[in-house]
Structure 1
Amino acid sequence: MVGMERYLQQIEPALAAARDWIVTPSAWGQIVALALAVLLGWGAAALVRPMLLRLLSPAAGATGSLSLLRRQLRRLLPLLGPLFAAAFAAFGEEALRALFGTAGIAAFGKRVFLFLAVRAFVRDVLREPFLRAYGRFVVLPIVAVYAVGLMPTVAAALSTMRMPLGNLSFDLLWAMKFALFGGLIFWAGRWSNERSTAYLAGQEELRPATRQLAIKTAEVAIFGLAFLVLMNVMGVNLTSLAVIGGAIGVGIGLGLQQIASNFISGIILLIEGQATVGDYVELDGGEAGTIVKMTLRSIILETFDGKWIVVPNEHFITTRVVNYSDQGSANRLEAAFSVSYDTDINRVPAIIEAAVAKHPKVLGHPEAPDCELRGFGDSGIDFAVEFWVSGLDDGPNKYVSDVLFLIWNALKEAGIEIPYPHRVVELRGPEGGMRF
């Protein structure tokens, strides 16, 4: 009881001052101003929202840039009430300061309305998971501290708390600024990179290698610019980056030669365009597949059985590479067959060439199908037909298999026998030999 009485005695002056203040015109003016700000703010939002909803609602199925912008602006409608209230509160604050010289409650209400606007923006407008988490765990706490008027106090306290990092140290205020600006800047960089990649990938008039080079160049430029902007915002002297560049140079000289070599090789490959996405290539080491992705460090090949092979860019520069150019260029294939020795072989080339030419994927240029006599085998006379197609004989295409079917049917229709091996067996005994 004694402690309670002592506590009441200590707060009695504050309570008396509050009672005296609450009956002043300034206090009632600020309370009325906040009440009016709430009523007018949400009332104005209720009046304006239907008009804006009609204005910002594009026609069904519209996909233009203007329609996209209107949809994005329509998502901001939940912010109308808090923003209108904050505007009316700010107007009331200025008027009360002019009349009474103070408007602390009105200023506090304005900050609370701004906090509600930011909260509505994070909750109702942001949809990307990263931005929602960023707004919830970084932006909202900072705005809450601002709303209660503790921003200067908290900033001063954080600036005195230093975190050691080896021989370096930084204060928590710097770390908070880094989290606030760094996340936003690099999200903007990632968003810009996605948009530039989609735009450049759609430029069909450019060679695939040129498109890949432009995409990688834009990516490096965007994130490099984001890094420089962040360093400038954080107050880091950009001339000190020369020290970092020297350290990176030493690292490359000591142990990153392969990474640097692959990086430079990737740039050379993208500039020269000797291999690009979609080409079917075979390396000296036996690796073969279709190029599905080219990065600044490696090239990814996909085999016809679905495996991915990661090949360092340097291998495409320093070793022999066979490029079958599966990008619409023609490739010559061959199908071998044999006929019986009883066949009039002078008839065979015309029959086979006419049959193979009927295949819809067999080309007449640079050469029509050509049937050649290859030799005289043990069981039959060996032929081969050469033909040109656009693509490779594997994966979804079975050119040689289709052509062999055509050869079989054509020879059957012409009455030409396809031989099979014959063997003669002799059994010798005391009474002489028998032959089968």
Structure 2
Amino acid sequence: MNGEFTTWLSSVADSIAAFWQALLAFGSTMLLPSRLVQIGVVMAMIVLAWLLARLIVPRYEAWMRGLEGRPKWQLRWLIVLRRRLPLIEFVALMWLSVGVFAALYTFPSRRYVLVLVATIATAWLAIRIAAQLVRNRLLRTLVVWSLSIWATLYYLGLLDETSYAMDQVAVTFGQFRLSLLTVVKALALTAALIVVARFLAVTSSQRIRGNADISPSMQELLVKLLRISLYGAAFFIGLKAVGFDLTGLAVLSGAIGVGLGFGLQKVVSNLVSGVIILLDKSVKPGDVISLGDTFGWINTLGARYVSVVTRDGKEYLIPNEDLITGQVVNWSHSNDLVRLDLKFGTSYGDDPHKVRAIAIAAAAGAQRVLSQPAPVCHIIDFGESSVDYLLRFWIRDPSAGLTNIRGAVYLALWDAFKENEISIPFPQREVRVLGDRPVVANPPSAD
């Protein structure tokens, strides 16, 4: 065991020494007088680019603030250019210096350093602009740094030495050898595949959600399945492409899955319930539901919960399992027609035929009340102090609220009854104050 470790340590030391020698050899070529002049020009261009940025950036920002009515994607790219403006200026100055040196000197060696720095800076600029297509900030940072390092080593001619040194830093598990180079390749390839998968997922999701022939619940199911498939494929393809054996990973994941199944029963139950909800279309985004004391419309269908927004702006995250096992009132499941009932009473002195006609006309005149089915009014009881009626009417937009339309119809009834001198009785009590009477503490018995 000690011999294997010594051999491994020796190979790592040799690879690092070879890389260091290549780096020193490259550095020694930079000490020639002509190249020192070029390095000085590079430093001068860095300072000049910084000064130009200090001068141009405030004017550029002032010009951006004056833009109105531009699409968001244009403003976003203008901000990207603002952040990369010093690098853009440096690239332009470097290629201008290359042109000047090409006109002054015939030999390419007289401008070798300038061309090298200009090429690397151009590659950095292209990588940073292209990386804006990656929306995730962490993933975008990983892509920028990894590609920038690769481009720098490639143009410096140190890529082979770096790869050899990283490949020597490795550990062995039986017949499987895992090196630092393999890990870096796996991360880079997996990140690239995830970027492609994300782009395909976003594009496909927009098309699926824009298809009116697919129900909203089925759209959500297709989008979730598509994302899981694309990201899973990107992860496993990235591992397989760099030589990882997925057989052992499958066995390990199966064992982990069994353990997680017992420990995360509720989570798994909510995930399965979410799939069932999407398949049976019992609820979908935009539906108005009542669950216990919660009344609102569904905002989103998540993998673990359903987001329900109430009229007062509160957002409830209801577990999917509660929607499967509990009693849910879906006001817009098969259609969006909703019937509302209002109870009221009038005096016995008022003509019930006239009261019914006035109530129907008042309800029909309120906003949001449908003319078909038409409102109806029925006598439901002869109460102690009033004739009791039930007014029924229909609406088609329960998501706009139920309490407000009830209040509007009640207000219309009030105005109509006032106009037609129909009274709404209410309980009245008469209190009589008795005069002073002697109080007998112990009244005589009958005996």
- TM-score, length-scaled by structure 1: 0.68
Taking a change above 3 Å as real, the CA distance of residues 368 and 267 of structure 1, as seen in their structure-2 partners, is same
Distance 2:222 2:144 in 1: 36
Deviation of the 1:398 alpha carbon: 1.6
Taking a change above 3 Å as real, the CA distance of residues 349 and 198 of structure 1, as seen in their structure-2 partners, is same
| Structure 2 counterparts to residues 330-345 of structure 1, below 5 A | 330-345=337-352
Cα deviation 1:365-418 (Å, max 9, x = unaligned): 3x3211122323344322221111113386487211111111111111212112
Pick from 257, 276, 280 the counterpart of residue 272 of structure 1. 280
Deviation of the 1:340 alpha carbon: 1.9
| Structure 2 counterparts to residues 369-408 of structure 1, below 5 A | 369-392=375-398, 395=401, 398-408=404-414
Question: Is 2:355 aligned against 1:357?
Answer: no
Question: Is 2:235 aligned against 1:196?
Answer: no
Deviation of the 1:191 alpha carbon: 2.3
Letter in 1 for 2:310: T
Report the 3-state secondary structure (helix = DSSP H, G, I; strand = E; otherwise coil) of the residue aligned with 2:197.
helix
5+ unaligned residues in a row in structure 1: which ranges?
1-17, 23-60, 64-77, 86-102, 432-436
Deviation of the 1:198 alpha carbon: 1.7
Report the 3-state secondary structure (helix = DSSP H, G, I; strand = E; otherwise coil) of the residue aligned with 1:398.
helix
Distance 2:404 2:297 in 1: 16
Pick from 217, 224, 241 the counterpart of residue 249 of structure 2. 241
Cα deviation 1:287-341 (Å, max 9, x = unaligned): 4332111122221212222222222212222222221117861111122222122
- 2:308, 2:317 within 8 Å by CA — same for their partners in 1? yes
Distance 2:219 2:250 in 1: 32
Distance 2:432 2:92 in 1: 107
Equivalence for 2:180:
172
Distance 2:245 2:92 in 1: 43
Equivalence for 1:415:
421
- 2:131, 2:144 within 8 Å by CA — same for their partners in 1? no
Distance 1:261 1:104 in 2: 69
- 2:336, 2:398 within 8 Å by CA — same for their partners in 1? no
Distance 2:138 2:204 in 1: 20
Equivalence for 1:149:
157
- 2:172, 2:178 within 8 Å by CA — same for their partners in 1? yes
| Structure 2 counterparts to residues 10-409 of structure 1, below 5 A | 115-127=120-132, 129=137, 133-162=141-170, 170-283=178-291, 285-325=292-332, 329-365=336-372, 367-392=373-398, 395=401, 398-409=404-415
Cα deviation 1:157-209 (Å, max 9, x = unaligned): 222324799xx994322232233222222122222222222221111222111
Distance 2:418 2:340 in 1: 23
Distance 2:251 2:233 in 1: 19
Letter in 2 for 1:212: E
Letter in 2 for 1:330: L
Taking a change above 3 Å as real, the CA distance of residues 398 and 288 of structure 1, as seen in their structure-2 partners, is closer
Report which stretch shifted further, 382-391 or 285-294. Answer: 285-294
Distance 1:286 1:237 in 2: 53
| Larger relative contact order (CA 8 Å, sep ≥ 6) | 2
- 1:327, 1:391 within 8 Å by CA — same for their partners in 2? no
5+ unaligned residues in a row in structure 2: which ranges?
1-27, 33-68, 72-87, 97-107, 438-447
Distance 2:189 2:116 in 1: 21
Distance 2:376 2:116 in 1: 85
Taking a change above 3 Å as real, the CA distance of residues 180 and 418 of structure 1, as seen in their structure-2 partners, is same
Residues paired across the two proteins, number: 355
Report the 3-state secondary structure (helix = DSSP H, G, I; strand = E; otherwise coil) of the residue aligned with 2:380.
strand
Report the 3-state secondary structure (helix = DSSP H, G, I; strand = E; otherwise coil) of the residue aligned with 1:226.
helix
Letter in 1 for 2:147: V
Report the 3-state secondary structure (helix = DSSP H, G, I; strand = E; otherwise coil) of the residue aligned with 1:363.
coil
Distance 1:390 1:397 in 2: 14
- 1:158, 1:171 within 8 Å by CA — same for their partners in 2? yes
Deviation of the 1:276 alpha carbon: 0.6
Cα deviation 1:229-275 (Å, max 9, x = unaligned): 21122221233332133124322443122222222211111111011
- TM-score, length-scaled by structure 2: 0.67
For the aligned residue pairs, the C-alpha RMSD in angstroms reads: 4.4
